[in-house]
Amino acid sequence: MPDNDKLKIAVYTCYCGGNISDVVDCEKVAKAMGSQPDVVVSRTDMSLCSDAGQSQIEQDIRELGVNRVVIGSCAPTLHEVTFRNALIRAGLNPYLYQHVGLREQDSWVHSNDHAGATRKAMHLMKAGIAKARLLHPLEPIRLQAEKQALVIGGGVAGLRAALDIAQQGLRVVLVEKSPFVGGRMAQLEAVFPTHENARDLLRGLIKKVVNHPGIKIYTQAEVMGVAGYVGNYCAQVIQHSRGVTEENAEALLSACQQEVPDEFNYGLTRRKTIYRPYPGCYPPLPAVDWDNYQGEPISLNGGEPIVLEDVPTSVDVNVGAIVVATGFDPYEPRQGEYGYGELKEVVTLPQLIRHLALSKANHALEWNGHPVRDVAFIHCVGSREIEGVDEPHEDGRINNYCSRVCCTATLHTTEELRQHFPGLNIYDLYQDIRTYGRGHEDYYRDALLGGVRFVRYHGEEHPQVTAASAGDTHPVLIRVKDSLTYNEELEIPVDLVVLAVGMQPRQIDKLVNMLKVSRGTDRFLLEVHPKLRPVETAVNGVVLAGTAQGPMNIQESLSAASAAAAKVVALLGRGRVELQPFVAAVDAEKCNGTGACVEICEYEGAIAVQTFTENGKEVKRAVVTPANCSGCGACVAVCPNHAINVQGWTLSQYEAMVDAIASDIPNMAEVA
């Protein structure tokens, strides 16, 4: 519909199912707005977002010739798109619409002052009308999109996301930093609550990914640079040499003598610098650990010694979207934390899981060459830390979040111990048991009925783990106040202490800075909105999958990965991307190319000063690349000539809104 000379504004005040109308007198607001200049209709509705409410808006546009719409309702993040679509169906440009947040900005914050909330609603709606008078039709930013996605991380989330994307017809490039895919799941023996073999499940997923013709996998590779914008990113991938070939791999693996701690077994064993992490890994070809290989010559069958050399290759990959699935790291306790690193009998839960896997054939549980008769698990190590109680980490912060998975993982392990070593005495020291998943609470009940002794401590008073006196029956003594027995102080002698360590974010600062994504207060990568946009970042075209975003179990990681894949497919599937038009726009007549806008802009490639020829003279003008612009408005604030505005949110529109809020509403006393 063309932008008519005569303004015809429709105003709607939504009851929001009582969220607004229980506080604000919506009928009085509608009556006051109906008397405003240019307003041709002012209505209320119980729920404008309903089909009936949207139909009323469409009907008014068609029958009354409405060419501007103002709606006072809930937050724009919930239903702004809903109402814009209603305008489109009625044939009106969707950006001739102004949303007023009466719920969050008024009724929810003034629930004890109904008259005041009603007056405020009138002023807010009047400001919306003032802006609506100055709205102009806008068009979305339309970009061609590369129908290929980049997945960073080859753990279970990255693999799932890659497969889901490829199965919808898009091409995928998967980049994994380590020489082998599979991530942390490969280090597990079984998954809860189904007790299925973890690596068998993982191999099935890997096989599907590897056999899909639309997926290209780079292992021992890193993303070193990213440029561009949604639909048209260019990523530089550096891939390191594997160091061996099909022909000489087994011979080099056999001849290699240098050994390092095996991170796959959390340092419990040692491996060679040419290695496979576990049987059946992918790729099956061994790889050289370049971080630890020191260039030592390796002799094959008495022949000339061979010095292995890493010759990295660089590949530029054009993609339309990026999935960040970089995973997590288990918390590494500090030296001396619960005796860790000082007492050999103090280990982490991941170490115990690997120890049980390595000693499956044993009929008795042993540690450090001694039988284990009594074992204690301590929860929340590296999670739920308290300011002023727990020592800050290197970055000066504490891990005050719950890692969510540790409780069930601990109880799952106690069940395995009870099944394989029925004579074992097990103590579980916890703050709270948080077995939130379906079927997970059964682990707690089974442990309780199976004889596991639960001791509840307060986070302000951690259990104290010390070496027992010489000649004692057990090597370790735990002192703890048990809140279940009115803070009685217990002394628990044990042979093994297992620390249920939490998840912590990976050190991927270079990647974070490269992609310009944000971290949350817990230092995991941050989504735009936990409910409305749960896997999207604030950077268009960059989405999150799995534990890069926060602590999750395997089921949740897979679900998050599928959600990320769905976002990518929806974004790139049509081969083009549409972005909101709320970006900076330059008035060339006012711009003289000072460059202040370029200096203040934090978004690479969003704005630049270019030289043009006008009337035979060279002049400088600022030029905006809409795809790179976030519409933050920083450039508007510094432009000395007021030559820049954000489309849909211009300075004149702001001024009109401020004036409207500050001005009186005629006959307000009568309506309020």
Helical (H) or strand (E) element with 510: helix 509-515
- What pLDDT, in 10s, does the model give residues 28-40? 999 999 999 999 9
More confident residue, 306 or 304: 306
Q: Compute the mean pLDDT over every residue in the chain, rounded to the nearest whole number.
A: 94
What are the φ/ψ torsions at residue 39 (nearest 5 degrees)?
-85, 120
* pLDDT recorded at residue 495: 97
Q: Measured between alpha carbons, how far is 108 from 104 in angstroms, rounded to an integer?
A: 6
User: How far apart (Å, rounded) are the C-alpha atoms in residues 644 and 590?
Assistant: 9
Question: What is the distance between the alpha carbons of residues 611 and 632, in angstroms, rounded to a whole number?
Answer: 25
Nearest-5° angle of CA 410, CA 416, CA 417? 90
At residue 1, the pLDDT reads 39
Same fold, 9-138 and 332-504: no
Domain map (residue ranges) of the chain: 9-138, 148-237+315-327+516-576, 241-311, 332-504, 584-647
CB atoms within 10 A of CB 305: 11
Which residues, 6+ apart, have CB-to-CB distance to 288 below 8 Å?
A: 241, 242, 243, 244, 273, 274, 308, 310
Cα–Cα distance, 90 to 85 (Å, whole number):
9
Examine residue 666 and say whether the peptide bond preceding it is cis (omega within 30 degrees of 0).
no
Structure tokens given for 270? 């040692």
Please tell me whether residue 647 adopts helix, strand or coil conformation: coil
Q: Is the peptide bond before 283 cis (omega within 30 degrees of 0)?
A: yes
Helices (H), 243-327: 249-255
pLDDT of 74-124, one tens digit each? 999 889 999 999 999 999 999 999 999 999 999 999 999 999 999 999 999
Instruction: Give the amino acid at 503.
Output: M
CATH of domain 148-237+315-327+516-576: 3.50.50.60
Peptide bond into 94 cis (omega under 30): no
Q: Is the pLDDT of residue 449 over 50?
A: yes
Give strand pairing partners of 602: none
pLDDT digits (tens, 9 = 90+) for 616-626: 899 999 999 99
Query: Counting beta carbons within 10 angstroms of the beta carbon of residue 521, is it exposed (0 to 12), middle (13 to 18) or buried (19 or more)?
Result: exposed
pLDDT (0 to 100) of residue 627: 87
Q: What is the bridge-based pairing of β-strands 9-14 and 68-73?
A: parallel
Q: Which backbone phi and psi does 285 adopt, to 5 degrees? A: -70, 130
- State the average pLDDT over residues 398-424: 96
Compute the distance between CA of residue 348 and CA of residue 499 in angstroms, rounded to an integer. Answer: 5
- The two beta strands, 221-229 and 496-501, are unpaired
Please check whether residue 480 is in contact with residue 361, taking contact to mean a CB–CB distance below 8 angstroms.
Answer: no
Question: Helical H runs in 384-458?
Answer: 406-420, 441-449
Q: Considering only residues 303 and 200, tell me which one the structure prediction assigns the higher pLDDT.
A: 200
Greater confidence (398 vs 362) lies with 398
pLDDT tens readout for residues 264-284: 999 999 999 999 999 999 999
Contact between residue 404 and residue 456 where contact means Cβ atoms under 8 Å apart: no
Is there a contact between 475 and 345 (Cβ–Cβ < 8 Å)? Answer: yes
**pLDDT computed for residue 604 by the predictor:** 82
CATH topology of domain 9-138: Rossmann fold (3.40.50)
> Can you name the CATH fold of 332-504?
FAD/NAD(P)-binding domain (3.50.50)
Residue 174 belongs to what H/E stretch? strand 171-175
In what helix (H) or strand (E) does residue 460 lie, and over which residues does it extend?
none
Supply the pLDDT for residue 3: 46
Give the chain's largest Cα–Cα span: 103
CB neighbours of residue 230 within 10 Å: 21
CB atoms closer than 10 angstroms to residue 623: 15
pLDDT per residue as tens digits for the range 469-499: 988 999 999 999 999 999 999 999 999 999 9
Please report, for residues 453, 457, 477, the alpha-carbon distance to residue 486 in angstroms, rounded to integers and kept in the order given. 16, 11, 21
What is the C-alpha to C-alpha distance for residues 95 and 76, in angstroms, rounded to an integer?
A: 13
Kindly report the CATH class assigned to 584-647.
Answer: alpha beta
Q: Long-range contacts made by residues 384-387, C-beta under 8 angstroms, separation at least 24? A: 384/431, 384/459, 384/502, 385/459, 386/459, 386/460
pLDDT band for position 614 (cuts 50, 70, 90): confident
Determine whether 262 is exposed, middle or buried from the number of CB atoms within 10 Å of its CB (0-12, 13-18, 19+): middle
pLDDT at 524 over 70: yes
Mean pLDDT of all residues in 564-573: 96
Task: Check whether 2 has a pLDDT greater than 80.
Answer: no
Length reported for the chain: 672
Give 670's pLDDT tier (boundaries 50, 70, 90): low
Q: Do the strands 328-330 and 259-261 form a parallel or antiparallel pair, or are they unpaired?
A: unpaired
Give the residue among 569, 530, 529, 563 at the shortest CA–CA distance from 546. Answer: 563
What percentage of the chain reaches a pLDDT higher than 70?
98
Q: In angstroms, how far is CA 151 from the centroid of its own chain?
A: 14
Q: Is the pLDDT of residue 392 over 60?
A: yes
Arithmetic mean of pLDDT, 204-212: 98
